[in-house]
Amino acid sequence: MSNPSQVAYQVMWNRLISIVEEQAQALVRTAFSTSVREAGDLSAGVYNEAGEMLAQAVTGTPGHVNAMADAVGHFIRRIGRDAMFEGDIYITNDPWEGTGHKHDITVVTPSFHKGALIGFFACTAHITDIGGRGFGADANDVHEEGLYIPIMKFADRGDVDQTLLKIIRGNVREPDQLVGDVYALANCNEIGHRRLIEMMEEFDLANLAGISDFILTNSRQATLDRINALTPGRADGHMRIDGYANPIDLCVRITIEKDRILSDWAGTSGLDKKGINVPLVYTKAYACYALKCAIAPEIPNNAASLAPFEITAPENTIVNAVHPAPVALRHVIGHMVPDTVYDALDKLLPGVVPAEGAGCLCNFQVSLRPRMDAPAPEDAVRSEVLTFNSGGSGARPALDGMSATAFPSGVMTMPVEATEQVGPVIVWRKELRPDSGGAGAYRGGLGQYMDVGARDGHEFDIQAMFDRVDHPARGRRGGGQGAPTKIARDDGAAMKGKGKQFVPHGARVEMAFPGGAGYGDPSDRDAEAIKRDLALGYITADAARDVYGLSVAEIDDTLARARQGEEF
């Protein structure tokens, strides 16, 4: 096909999206880490010969895929085009040239067709352990956060670097799991490559130049049309969050201009001593995501549709951490970036953006071992268990927030069964948290209760990675705030929202994850929606009466109908 039609190019574009989605699903099916298999904490994409992202998989997180959009350029620069050959596979976990912290492995594979380099496939996955202090915020610089893999060849013309594998195995707590994940990443890129070659042969393409130009030109123009339809303006946004030992202030100025939107983070708090700092690539990923969701959500994500969103931040602010700042928990701050952007954008585009939500994921990692205070049973083991959980998302201008749903990361909450099968951990309780969604004309999404312990004969350390303990989600347009995060031991011992903490044999950790905030005045909420919430247990009778104004008779009638099985 010498000159494909516009229709043919559109078909190819759709095919590319399906190819990278198959690439991502292959990773989900073959990965060893539960965070990839069960939560979808990954990304996958295809790039042209210049390293520009053409398409991303639907499965995956904005932090991974939007950061990975910049990463391939670093691989090209570091490896060098003259040193790229068929059968090569490249790898890194560099926080500043990958996706923001060492616990993400990025694998890039050059794609050749008839002997010529035509593009690249890339994918990223979060791995359970990379050595060092383990996944947590306690490090004082990046060197404490685990093994560093610079951009290098994992395989050279098909030959895997066995020395690299030995170094990896010798420095991590879960060597089989990590090495298995690396092979899964390489495999999914290979699947993407095979599907791409099939498409090129079907359409008789010698290279990706034509389809690349079609995708990038149309995506850029469509994004510019959306931006230029907006009223130019400038507004500031601010959010205060817990931080590690001291609160963090996130400050942003959003400026809408012709052909671009600027996001400037001057005024944001400086670097933290602990590992909650954010490389600029990750800040850019979530700031772009927030703006794109609000302004051009249906335009496919690629290099051209991201380009008009320009993100800047002064060096050594917490959103532009430079080496050697500790960055392991960059997501705790980075996931708050979209709601800070929306605090500004709400002043420019009223009635568009949601109220604040839980923001960062409610993750924790449990390091289990045989009990040390008394003889342990023979079957006691050491194990690392990472679990992904979510609070509630903020209410939207015309819809309630989503309960136990991760925004902005988009990862899935991991099932109890998947968590318990990878180590001697017990989840004693996991259920929605009534009254945790902020009140409003539209209610915030609910958080969760979660109680965790270990099987008999084990003690453990828990790495807490929580925020919203002291600074819960704020409502918008008169909506109420969401419930804050709570964490304590079942014996009443206080626990911190962040950091490694010891849990003795027989004790449990009781957690309450935060709710999303409400949107609009609670007095404007539809009475039937209030009754439905009460019947489903989303709010208590006290909240129905004291917050929303239902009468005692209405409450009693609603609860009676719910007991009889009536639908609401």
Q: H/E element holding 262? A: strand 260-264
**pTM for the model:** 0.96
What would the two tokens of residue 313 be? 């931040």
Q: Please report the pLDDT score of residue 568 as a whole number.
A: 85
3-state secondary structure of 125: strand
Please, what sign has the CA dihedral across residues 241, 544, 450, 37?
A: negative
Question: Directed axis angle between helix 209-228 and helix 6-30, to 10°?
Answer: 90
Q: Please report the pLDDT score of residue 131 as a whole number.
A: 97
What would the two tokens of residue 3 be? 């000159």
Q: Please report the pLDDT score of residue 567 as a whole number.
A: 86
How would you classify residue 499: left for phi > 0, otherwise alpha for psi between -120 and 50, otherwise beta? Answer: left
Q: Are 326 and 279 in contact (CB under 8 A)?
A: no
pLDDT averaged per 10 residues, the chain (length 568): 85 97 96 92 96 95 93 97 98 97 98 97 96 96 98 98 98 96 98 98 96 98 98 98 97 98 98 98 98 96 97 98 98 98 98 97 97 96 95 98 96 92 96 98 98 98 98 98 98 96 98 98 97 98 97 96 91
The CA-based angle 71-73-76, given to 5 degrees, is 115
Give the position of tokens 């380099």: 117
- Within 10 angstroms of residue 138's Cβ, the number of other Cβ atoms is 19
Residue 454: alpha-carbon gap to chain centroid: 27
State the DSSP string of 222-250.
HHHHHHHTSPPEEEEEEEEE--SSS-EEE
**Cα gap 253→475, rounded to integer Å:** 20
Task: Give the list of residues 6+ apart from residue 511 with CB closer than 8 angstroms, or none.
Answer: 362, 364, 449, 450, 451, 452, 466, 485, 486, 487
**Structure confidence by residue, pLDDT tens digits, 498-550:** 999 999 999 999 999 999 999 999 999 999 999 999 999 999 999 999 999 99
- Within 10 angstroms of residue 101's Cβ, the number of other Cβ atoms is 29
**Structure confidence by residue, pLDDT tens digits, 68-77:** 999 999 999 9
Give the position of tokens 């380009």: 307
Q: Where are the domains of the chain?
A: 6-220, 354-525
* Residue 451, CB-side half-sphere exposure with 13 Å CA sphere: 11
What would the two tokens of residue 96 be? 């500043």
Question: Directed axis angle between helix 337-348 and helix 280-295, to 10°?
Answer: 40
Q: Please report the pLDDT score of residue 420 as a whole number.
A: 96
Is residue 529 classed exposed, middle or buried when 0-12, 13-18 and 19+ CB atoms within 10 A define those classes?
middle
**Cα gap 348→371, rounded to integer Å:** 57
Please, what sign has the CA dihedral across residues 79, 186, 38, 342?
A: positive
**Cα gap 363→374, rounded to integer Å:** 30
Strands 363-370, 309-312: pairing kind? unpaired
Q: Are 262 and 255 in contact (CB under 8 A)?
A: yes
Provide the edge-to-edge strand list for the sheet that holds 383-387: 383-387, 363-370, 458-465, 498-503
Please, what sign has the CA dihedral across residues 225, 229, 235, 240?
A: negative
What's phi and psi for 152, nearest 5 deg?
-160, 175
